[in-house]
């Protein structure tokens, strides 16, 4: 059975969908450490796929990487939400920083 087609198009919509799936039994502090630690774990999984491809000659599994990147995005969304920050604000601030470092 294939996954349903994604209909989320904005960062705000994504963040709302991600928030819908949080473990409501966790305290705010527990949710923060869960999401932040999860981000590190997911980044490690992304790195493992890339490392195995580049250093061990395995085929690059783009579908698996896309899933891991999605998991990392969930962790970013929940970390930000727990801190009261929107993903849109995170993206906007990052674009501002990038434009300062690399002017158009």
34-58 pLDDT, tens digit each: 999 999 999 999 999 999 999 999 9
Is residue 87, in this structure, part of any structural domain at all? yes
pLDDT on residue 81: 97
Is residue 16, in this structure, part of any structural domain at all? no
Mean pLDDT, consecutive 10-residue stretches, the chain (104 aa), reads 69 96 97 98 98 97 97 98 97 97 93
Is residue 14, in this structure, part of any structural domain at all? no
Is residue 78, in this structure, part of any structural domain at all? yes
pLDDT on residue 5: 67
Q: Which structural domain, as residue segments, surrounds residue 82?
A: 27-101
pLDDT on residue 7: 74
Is residue 9, in this structure, part of any structural domain at all? no
Distances (CA, A) of 66 to 41, 46, 61, 72, 85: 15, 9, 9, 10, 24
Asked if 77 contacts 19 with a C-beta cutoff of 8 angstroms, the reply is yes
CATH code for position 42: 1.10.287
The tally of domains found in the chain comes to 1
Alpha carbons 31 and 35: distance in angstroms, whole number: 6
Alpha carbons 64 and 55: distance in angstroms, whole number: 18
């Amino acid at each position: 059975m294939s996954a349903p087609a994604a209909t989320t198009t904005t960062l705000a919509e994504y963040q709302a969908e991600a928030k819908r799936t949080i473990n409501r039994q966790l305290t705010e502090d527990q949710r923060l450490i869960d999401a932040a630690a999860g981000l590190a774990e997911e980044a490690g999984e992304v790195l493992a796929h890339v490392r195995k491809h580049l250093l061990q000659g395995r085929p690059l599994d783009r579908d698996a990487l896309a899933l891991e990147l999605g998991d990392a995005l969930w962790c970013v969304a929940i970390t930000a939400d727990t801190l009261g920050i929107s993903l849109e604000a995170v993206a906007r601030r990052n674009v501002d920083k990038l434009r300062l470092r690399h002017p158009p």
